[in-house]
């Protein structure tokens, strides 16, 4: 579920109304229930975002609060949640033309940022997050990095360990993994 889909669903006023925010939060609560049920099993207190609205938020915070860390040149950036909260209120109380003037907010995100910050705030609140981080890496890059780290951390395999199989066809892989 992304900001574009939420924007289509709500089609908010300018600025967004309290009733529209309530409607969006109720929709998120209903649609994300399976996620929240699954996360009950884990200690989750950090929200990690990449690209899109998270990039925009980092840039807006950098310009508005003159933070010493430039998020545009880092691979990760930890948000000051008080700054996020201030940006959240500014975005929700501004109209389209006012948001166009916010430094760091790309014109293509001016509409979408409203539902995006509501979505982010909902997740932070619902899961009682204590930290929000921007990663300049995408999900695929993150998975590859994790795999590489795990391989580096592993001890060398014993000599009797099985050798990797020769390249398999799609059919062989599907049969092996899905019966």
Instruction: Report which of residues 145 and 109 the model is more confident about.
Output: 109
pLDDT for position 44: 84
Secondary structure letter of residue 77 according to DSSP = E
pLDDT at residue 95 in the model: 97
pLDDT exceeds 70 at position 173: no
| Coarse DSSP helix, strand, coil percentages of the chain, rounded to the nearest 5 percent | 60, 5, 35
Residue 156 located in a structural domain: no
Give the CATH number for residue 17: 3.30.420.150
Whether 153 is covered by a domain: the verdict is no
Place of tokens 């925010």: 21
Give the pLDDT band of residue 66 (cuts 50, 70, 90).
Answer: confident
103 or 166: which leads in pLDDT:
103
Closest residue by Cα to residue 30 from 124, 132, 126, 131: 126
Residue 170 has pLDDT above 90, yes or no: no
Q: Tens digit of pLDDT for each residue in 43-52?
A: 888 888 887 8
| Residue 104 C-beta-side C-alpha neighbours within 13 Å | 20
pLDDT of residue 156: 53
Number of domains in the chain: 1
For residue 45, whether the previous peptide bond is cis, meaning omega lies within 30 degrees of 0, is no
Domain that holds residue 81: 3-139
Residue 124 lies in a domain: yes
Instruction: Tell whether 154 is covered by a domain.
Output: no
- Let me know if residue 145 belongs to a domain: no
Q: Please check whether residue 164 lies inside any domain of the structure.
A: no
Q: Please give the pLDDT value at position 149.
A: 78
Is residue 61 included in any domain, yes or no? yes
Tell which wins on pLDDT, 172 or 51. 51
pLDDT tens-digit profile of 104-114? Answer: 999 999 999 99
- Of 152 and 122, more confident: 122
Q: What is the pTM of this model?
A: 0.73
The answer to the question of residue 144 being in a domain is: no
173: helix, strand or coil: helix
Over 23-76, what HEC string results?
Answer: HHHHHHHHHCHHHHHHHCCCCCCEEEEECHHHHHHHHHHHHHHCCCCCHHHCCE
């Amino acid at each position: 579920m992304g900001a574009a889909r939420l924007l289509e669903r709500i089609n908010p006023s300018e600025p967004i109304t309290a009733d529209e925010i309530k409607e969006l939060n109720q929709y998120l609560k209903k649609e994300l229930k399976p996620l929240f049920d699954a996360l009950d099993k884990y200690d989750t207190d950090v929200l990690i975002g990449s690209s899109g609205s998270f990039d925009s938020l980092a840039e807006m915070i950098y310009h508005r609060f003159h933070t010493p860390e430039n998020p545009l040149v880092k691979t990760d950036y930890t948000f000051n949640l008080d700054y996020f909260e201030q940006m959240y209120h500014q975005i929700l109380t501004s109209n389209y033309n006012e948001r166009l003037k916010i430094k760091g907010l790309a014109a293509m995100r001016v509409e979408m940022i409203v539902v995006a910050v509501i979505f982010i705030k909902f997740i932070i609140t619902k899961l009682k997050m204590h930290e929000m981080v921007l990663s300049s890496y995408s999900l695929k890059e993150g998975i590859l990095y994790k795999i590489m780290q795990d391989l580096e951390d592993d001890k060398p395999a014993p000599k009797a360990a099985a050798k990797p199989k020769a390249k398999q066809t799609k059919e062989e892989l599907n049969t092996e993994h899905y019966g």
